[in-house]
Structure 1
Amino acid sequence: MHSIHDPHVPFALPLNEPPIPGSVIEVHGKHHHHDTFVVELLAGPHIPLHLSFRFHHEHDLVLNAAAHGQWGCEQRVHNPIPKHDHHFTIRIKVHDSHYDVEVDGHHIATFNHRFPYASVQAIGCHGDVHIKHIHFQGFHFHNAWNHQGHDFGHGGYIGYGTSAYQPPVVPQAHPINQHYDPYR
């Protein structure tokens, strides 16, 4: 297991190797107010899994994915996190065909893969939330997860979660492109 403690929100943290079926990412944190927060799995300019916890007019958890900034069809379920000051655990488990999403030990949603799970390079979080720690389980852990400066082969995720954010551009020859349909 590997853990990251008290990352400053917003953040995009590299996964030093791709997830595999059985991999689990647990995000432990506290929601502060009535504002939205987002947890995402990132792959170059794509977002294979977007979890948007909304608290304003709607009290929904929106699940989606985006290719080059273009969103797919939303999947909505009830947001199980109370409106403010709530400690939570979000658990994302990777399966061959889908992700299972749990909140505080309760299964909330199944989200079918729209991108290969092996393309996921990072986890990101932004919005009105404090993240206490993130646990990674069920990865091979062949690489050193504690080193800095993981090379995505592109500009990375600088500015993620801010208005200045520009999704990374992945060169055609980058190995991550083996996971994508060239006509997407």
Structure 2
Amino acid sequence: MAFVPPPGYQPIYNPSIPYSGPIFGGVRPGMSIYVQGYIPQDTNRWFNINFACGQEEGSDIAFHFNPRFDGWDKVVFNSFQNNEWGDEEHKRDMPFSLDQNFELVFIVTPDYYQVNVNGQSYYQFNHRIPLERVEALQVAGNVMIQSINISGSRMAPGYEEALPVPSFPSGNLPWTPPSFNVLLQTMGGPAIYSPQREELLCIEKGVTLASRFLLVNGYVYTHTHTFHINLKASCNNDIALHINPRVSEGIVVRNSFLNGTWGEEERDLETNPFQPGQYFDLSVRCGNYRFKVFINGQPLFVYNHRLRPFEQVDTVEIEGDVAVSYVHV
């Protein structure tokens, strides 16, 4: 069971640093780049993430994002064009901590790059170089990267659907969210960042999960015991797939709730990939006969449909001791 990402979604897992890779189809408004990483304890230098106009050394850089740990901790923002750096912008409010995981989101708008760090709006960098020139993403320095998820890219010729610019709430991560429902939308719509109940109620109804991907990024607290992700039918509250990581027990339970009754649990997994203090990247593909579930790009389990017709599934319910930072369908 190989992980094949849906159109418009370009994941990179555990890249070697320095990293340089293409952004398929280039950059456009509505795209987002979601980065999960870790700052080593012994960092006394810097790392940077570049939106570059090519993968070759010396290429122009449309946006240079550069946290510096040098005793004068700050984050530097700049561009590089015609072999010269532009006017430097910086912010001394350092959002990264040593020996800590971080979550970083770059949201591309028509006028600027919006930077969110750990669920909080952090900075806006106005475009100095046209977006259509940006072709690659580069990461260098003293940092470890768990995943890079590029959402809204053109994964194949002809994938031309324009994306609306997503909205984003303020707030800190990790946070303790309430239980909530997400009415599913087609892939290519805006991603939802750090979702909250009041934001989710306005999502368009009438779309099912059939033949689509569900993408959920989150963080397992160090004290987490259990949480669950349910794929439901809003018409009768049946649960087609109940994914229940029981962190303290080291298992992931799968089940269905149909006609008011829980079915037989499935528990057979070699390991529990949901670990305390770790981020996760969960992908669920709904096919004609089964759900295929992946974690961080690796196969996790296959679950045969028990709910018929499975096209009734139109709602995601997430509840428990977990921080959800990103939802996309």
Instruction: Provide Cα deviations, 1:106-151, integer angstroms capped at 9, x if missing partner.
Output: 111100000011211110011101111100112243349xxxxxxx
Matches for 1:17-166 after TM superposition, within 5 Å: 17-32=25-40, 33-44=43-54, 45-77=59-91, 78-82=93-97, 84-143=98-157
Larger Cα-atom Rg? 2
Q: Distance in 1 between matches of 2:35 and 2:83?
A: 24
Q: Distance in 1 between matches of 2:133 and 2:106?
A: 16
Q: Distance in 2 between matches of 1:63 and 1:9?
A: 20
SS in 2 for 1:8: coil
**Does 2:17 correspond to 1:3?**
no
Pair 1:69–1:79, CA change in 2 (3 A): farther
The CA deviation at 1:18 is: 1.0
Q: Distance in 2 between matches of 1:48 and 1:58?
A: 25
Pair 1:143–1:9, CA change in 2 (3 A): farther
Q: Which has the higher contact order (CA 8 A, sep 6+)?
A: 1
The CA deviation at 1:69 is: 2.4
Contact 2:14 2:146 in 1 (8 A): yes
Contact 2:24 2:153 in 1 (8 A): no
Contact 1:27 1:131 in 2 (8 A): yes
Structure 1 counterpart of 2:95, one-letter code: P
The percent of aligned pairs where both chains have the same amino acid is 28
Structure 2 counterpart of 1:79, one-letter code: M
Q: 4+ runs of 1 displaced by more than 4 Å?
A: none
TM-score, normalised by the number of residues in structure 2: 0.42
Structure 2 counterpart of 1:110, one-letter code: Q
Structure 2 counterpart of 1:81, one-letter code: F
Unpaired runs of 5+ residues, structure 2, are 1-8, 159-329
The CA deviation at 1:39 is: 0.7
Structure 2 counterpart of 1:36, one-letter code: W
The CA deviation at 1:103 is: 0.8
Contact 1:39 1:50 in 2 (8 A): yes
Q: How many residues align?
A: 143
Q: Distance in 2 between matches of 1:96 and 1:141?
A: 21
Contact 2:13 2:148 in 1 (8 A): yes
TM-score, normalised by the number of residues in structure 1: 0.74
Unpaired runs of 5+ residues, structure 1, are 145-184
Structure 2 counterpart of 1:70, one-letter code: E
Q: Distance in 2 between matches of 1:119 and 1:4?
A: 22
